[in-house]
A and B are shown apart, each in its own frame.
Chain A
């Protein structure tokens, strides 16, 4: 099954000319044709002739012996990355017809590495959400279902839910995601795939539509840990156009997988053992600890005392930045415009029509916490707490190499669940947000199924710019878990 391969397997197959990039691309276009209506993983699928033309170019490079790192590999691109000449919506009515005249740095890097883009994947509107329910183009459905309850549609997680569903269901070999508070890791866990949020600054943010600038970070969503390393290698790198991008050299990440983890110290944050954490999640965590011990790691308890404030401070800082970042959607220069007799009227009409409820909620929250008289109590305080959270991690990493936690407090939930209580929805990010606040790299690896057959993920958090150790540990978990389960909906099923 060409649609069931890892990037690493597909690249080997292409290099050995076992199949062509055209065949590989065609197989994915066919799978999208069959399954996208049900899953709604793609907002935009690229025209077949364009996809095949890129694949043909990749085949030519293989023939010439000049193939790049991602050459001929068909992938999905989260519809938050601006793609030149290809509609980029951020899953918002505001940008329903927006066609950027430029290519984001991350997607340009992938194109330079030879990747073949299949289309733009669905997401929560402007990446704000944890369930992919806030997309103006309709929700994405998780290809996994509960055993014995196959008719209940589950969420794929969010905000990169279209990417995670596409990768899990065989509609792409891999996909790009972006992670602000867990938007790569949580959907990866919900869909049984690997998701890596690199260190803040590892990938350029230029050309990626901003949600919260100090937190946004692009990363790979793949079927294996080695794939995550390979794809990150292609995505990452210094970009003079992004002042916050790092000029550190990009290591050969994929080589980190398979390296011995013997003697590495793994920290277990005691504060994450929250009361009320479901038993299956706790059990999977214990299993992960046991696997790493068996692989020769030393497991110790660590304390992240300010982590309990992570979610609260995140929901001050991220909305504050978003309220400002989204001010540019005013109907004047691009995107949706609703005419009105006055300038303020144009703003009101355009933004009321263009933004969905969750985006509006966050703009309002962010505007509030930055307002005169509230700034010190909310934004400034949150920034101070953020510094403390960062320090917690730095102190923990004086004694350990990585931290191991669950990725999310539960498996995927049903569409429509948690919808009436935003706070309940925000709790999905409780384990992922602290690493975002600290800017450290974090990986979600699928390690098993819960009692109703839904995948669960474990999160490996590492030191700043030490994705390599994170990938090594992730590789060890992957090897021990031997996760080969397939969702009920996937391109190989019944074929």
Chain B
């Protein structure tokens, strides 16, 4: 246990479980045909069903169900062929029906697991309790009028997956790693864009503390935390708050709290007494959700390769290190880019170029992998030029920078700038003669035993050939001449 809180009465460990709300990628909402595009003008993506007009009925969107199944499969979870939609009843201005359609007793996805990796290289399995489908609510706008609040229902009815973890998390860092890994899997699957700033992924954080070996103590739920960094901060401050209460002889109340990042504290949002009685019951407007195993199998067969599998394959297929493979699979687009470069070439060299010069160039030019000025094909071709000795590694750097700047192909740049590597031994010999003549003193020193000067001569010859000489040939010829 690496993260603990040292209190006056002893050592405390933290117990954390996460409930992540992930907005499903789909063209239309969970129970209506309205569009789900982000950023439309308020109330322009609202059907009569979303606004809960009298007599309107929900009809399940099969694409959203497919997305939940894909996600369940990606979390190595049990897919429940029989699940059910329930109504969660409460009044709020952003909830047109007066209830949210959710899955309470029988979720579509059961137990699964997410494997996380920590900074120190440790790998841990965090249990997933369940995943269920539910409707998102609308949004209240409080800043449009001094006395009124406005309601935007564009988001009302959009499909969410609520993904609940087991209380397996013991460190803020683990919570961060869990969220990053979950986001990575969702993005690979194409089931959620994982964009926390836009609110398409939000986390509720359940925190409690205990002493080693104790059963769980009372937990508090911190609602709607909207960045990974804030989740980690919220856990730290909330755990510290609870330790303080217990150590002062108090009792932690089970309640819903909010995290205020500007003040670095959590505060009460709803106490237990004010907790809603949601009066869940099966939604009589919807039939039980019954899935055919054959359809689940079909979706499983079409599942993309997920990060863990890809990482293992990259290691095996391209001979790269575990860490490097992890960096390269972090994002699907990077992995695809890398693989295009590496396929049929030197995988390690490809990794060095992608993680080194390419990442640096993207950073410098403010590009993402998707908008990279150098295509994977072009970088691959450049590696081919190195492999067939048309250019050497040093010249390659120059060619690459030119590619970043001009977007031209490496061959064109090599031709244009005359960077083709010199392999003509006659030219190399002539350059060696010139250098040895020029530095007769150094030659004498070398011959009297100062072996270290060999590097000096290599450098001079390369300079003489404007860097284009094949370094191996230069080495060979120099050695022959010096030791003659």
Q: Write the A362-395 contact mask toward B (1 if CB under 8 angstroms, else 0).
A: 0000010011100100010000000000000000
- Report B's interface with A, CB cutoff 8 A: 48, 51-60, 87, 89, 91-93, 96-99, 151, 277, 279-281, 284-287
Chain A positions within 8 Å of B54 at CB level: 82, 88, 90, 95, 98, 100, 209-210, 328, 334
- Complex CA–CA separation, A328 to B51 (angstroms): 9
- Interface pair A343/B93, CB less than 8 Å apart: yes
Known: A327-B99, A343-B93, A372-B277. A244 touches B285 (CB 8 A): yes
Q: List 7 A-B contacts (CB under 8 A).
A: A100-B54, A205-B57, A240-B59, A242-B57, A330-B91, A333-B53, A375-B281
- Cβ–Cβ < 8 Å partners of A104 in chain B: 55
A371–B93 CB distance below 8 A: no
Cα–Cα, bound, A327→B54 (Å): 11
Contact B55–A324 (Cβ < 8 Å): no
Known: A326-B98, A327-B97. 15 other contacts (CB 8 A): A82-B54, A101-B48, A205-B55, A207-B56, A209-B55, A241-B57, A243-B285, A328-B54, A330-B98, A332-B96, A347-B91, A367-B279, A370-B279, A370-B280, A372-B279
Q: Say yes or no: A324 contacts B57, CB within 8 Å.
A: no
Closest residue on chain A to residue B88 by CB atoms: A324
**What residues of A have a CB within 8 angstroms of the CB of B92 in the complex?**
343
A44 within 8 A of B: no
Asked whether, in the complex, the Cβ of B96 is within 8 Å of the Cβ of A244, the reply is no
A208 at the interface (CB under 8 A from B): yes
A206 at the interface (CB under 8 A from B): yes
In the complex the two chains form, what is the Cα distance from A432 to B463 in whole Å? 103
Name B284's contact: one of A101, A213, A330 (CB within 8 Å): A213
Across the interface, which residues of B come within 8 angstroms of A209, CB to CB?
54-55
User: Which 6 A-B residue pairs are closest in the complex by CB-CB distance?
Assistant: A327-B98, A370-B279, A214-B284, A213-B284, A328-B52, A207-B55
Residues of B close to A324: CB separation below 8 A: 87, 89, 98-99, 279, 281
Instruction: Decide yes or no: A243 and B284 within 8 Å by CB, A102-B48, A324-B87 being known contacts.
Output: no
Compute how far the CA of A370 lies from the CA of B57 in the bound complex, rounded to whole angstroms.
21
Interface residues of A (CB under 8 A from B): 81-82, 88, 90, 95, 98, 100-102, 104, 205-210, 212-214, 240-244, 320-321, 323-324, 326-328, 330, 332-334, 343-344, 347, 367, 370-372, 375, 379
Residues on A with C-beta less than 8 A from B96 are 328, 332-333
| Residues from chain A with Cβ under 8 Å of B55 in the complex | 81-82, 100, 104, 205-210
Which of A100, A320, A344 interacts with B53 by CB under 8 Å? A100
Tell me whether B89 and A371 are in contact (CB under 8 A). Answer: no
Q: Is the CB–CB distance between B57 and A333 below 8 Å?
A: no
- Set of chain A residues within 8 Å of B287, measured between Cβ atoms: 243-244
Report which of B89, B93, B284 forms a contact with A370, defined as CB distance below 8 A: B89
- B279 / chain A contacts, CB cutoff of 8 Å: 323-324, 367, 370-372, 375
- Least CB distance from B137 to A in Å reads 13
Cβ-defined contact, A213 with B285, below 8 A? yes
Q: With A327-B99, A328-B96 known to touch, is A320 a contact of B281 (CB < 8 Å)? A: yes
Q: Which of A212, A214, A330 has the most CB of B within 10 A?
A: A330
How many whole Å from A227's CB to the nearest CB in chain B? 26
- By a CB distance below 8 angstroms, the chain B residues around A332 are 93, 96, 151
Report yes or no: A327 in contact with B91, Cβ–Cβ below 8 A.
yes
- The answer to whether B91 and A333 touch across the interface, beta carbons within 8 angstroms, is no
Are B97 and A328 interface neighbours, CB within 8 A? yes
Known: A100-B53, A205-B55, A206-B57. A243 touches B286 (CB 8 A): yes
Question: What are the residues of chain B within 8 A of A379 when measuring CB–CB?
Answer: 281
Q: Which B residues are in CB contact (< 8 Å) with A214?
A: 284
Residue of A nearest to B275 (CB): A372
| List of B residues within 8 angstroms of A244 by Cβ | 284-287
Query: Please, how many angstroms separate the alpha-carbon atoms of A209 and B279 in the complex?
Result: 22
Q: Give the residue among B53, B58, B287 with the most A Cβ atoms within 10 A.
A: B53
Smallest Cβ-Cβ distance to B98: which chain A residue: A327
With a cutoff of 8 Å between Cβ atoms, the chain A residues found around residue B52 in the complex are 328, 333
A210 and B285 alpha carbons, distance in the complex (Å): 10
Closest A residue by C-beta to B94: A332
CA distance A101 to B97 in the complex (A): 18
The interface centre, meaning the residue of B54, B57, B279, B286 with most chain A CB atoms within 10 A of its CB, is B54
B98 contacts A371, C-beta separation under 8 Å: no
A95-B93 Cα distance, complex, nearest whole Å = 19
Q: Which residue of B lies closest to A240 (CB)?
A: B59
Contacts of B93 in A (CB 8 A): 330, 332, 343
Contact partners of B51 in chain A: CB under 8 A: 333-334
Chain A residues near B91 (CB-CB < 8 A) = 327, 330, 344, 347
Specify which chain B residues have a CB less than 8 angstroms from the CB of A328 in the assembled complex. 52, 54, 96-98
Q: Kindly state the separation between the CA atoms of A212 and B281 in the bound complex, as whole angstroms.
A: 13
A375 and B97 alpha carbons, distance in the complex (Å): 21
With the chains together, A239 CA to B247 CA distance in Å? Answer: 62
Give the complex CA separation of A372 and B281 in angstroms: 11
| Complex Cα spacing A237 to B215, Å | 57
Q: Which of A206, A210, A242, A327 contacts B89 (CB 8 A)?
A: A327
CA distance A101 to B99 in the complex (A): 23
A95-B53 Cα distance, complex, nearest whole Å: 11
**B-side contacts of A333, CB under 8 Å:** 51-53, 96, 151
Bound-complex Cα distance A242 to B91 (A): 25
Q: How far is the CA of A101 from the CA of B56 in the complex (A)?
A: 12
Least CB distance, A443 to chain B, in whole angstroms: 24
User: How long is the Cα–Cα vector from A323 to B89 in the complex, in angstroms?
Assistant: 9
In the bound assembly, the distance between CA atoms of A321 and B53 in angstroms comes to 17
CB of B438 to closest CB in A, whole Å:
89
In the assembly, what is the distance between CA of A265 and CA of B56, in Å? 40
Which chain B residue shows the least CB distance to A379?
B281
CB–CB A206/B98 < 8 A: no
What distance in Å separates the Cβ of A100 from its nearest Cβ neighbour in chain B? 7
Measured between C-beta atoms, what is the minimum distance from A483 to chain B in Å?
34
Chain B residues lying within 8 Å of A242, measured Cβ to Cβ, are: 57, 59
B60 partner residues in chain A, CB cutoff 8 A: 243
In the complex, residue of chain B having the shortest beta-carbon distance to the beta carbon of A327: B98
CA distance A95 to B54 in the complex (A): 10
Q: Which residues of B contact A371 (CB under 8 A)?
A: 277, 279
Among B59, B92, B285, residue most surrounded by chain A Cβ atoms (within 10 Å): B285
Determine the distance from Cα of A213 to Cα of B286 in the docked complex, in whole angstroms: 10
Closest to B149 in A: A343
Q: CA–CA, A104 to B56, complex, Å?
A: 9
Q: Which residue of A is nearest B153, CB measured?
A: A333
| Beta-carbon contact of B59 and A241 below 8 Å | yes
CB distance from B341 to the nearest CB of A (A): 48
Report the Cα distance A104→B277, complex, angstroms: 33
Known: A213-B285, A332-B93, A343-B93. A243 touches B99 (CB 8 A): no
Q: Which residues from B are CB-within-8-Å of A240?
A: 59
B85 nearest in chain A by CB position: A243
Closest to A81 in B: B55
Interface core residue of B51, B279, B285, B286 (most chain A CB under 10 Å): B279
List chain A residues, Cβ under 8 A from B53: 100, 102, 333-334
Q: From residue B162, how far is it (CB to closest CB) to chain A in Å?
A: 20
Q: How many angstroms between the C-alpha atoms of A333 and B93 in the bound complex?
A: 9
Residues of B within 8 A of A208 (CB): 55
Residue of A nearest to B90 (CB): A327
Chain B, Cβ-Cβ closest to A331: B93
Measured CB to CB, the nearest residue on chain A to B91 is A347
Nearest B residue (CB) for A80: B55
* A327–B55 alpha-carbon span in the complex (Å): 13
B284 lies within 8 A of A321 (CB): yes
In Å, the complex CA distance between A379 and B281 comes to: 9
In the complex, chain B residues whose CB is within 8 Å of the CB of A95:
54
Q: Which residues of B contact A326 (CB under 8 A)?
A: 98
Closest to B287 in A: A243
CB distance from B396 to the nearest CB of A (A): 61
Q: Which residues of B contact A344 (CB under 8 A)?
A: 91
Assembly CA distance A347 to B91 (angstroms): 8
Give bound CA distance, A344 to B92, whole Å.
Answer: 9
Docked pose: A332 CA to B280 CA in angstroms:
23
In the complex, what's the smallest C-beta–C-beta distance from B177 to chain A, in angstroms? 36
Rounded to whole angstroms, the CA-CA distance of A206 and B53 in the bound complex is 11
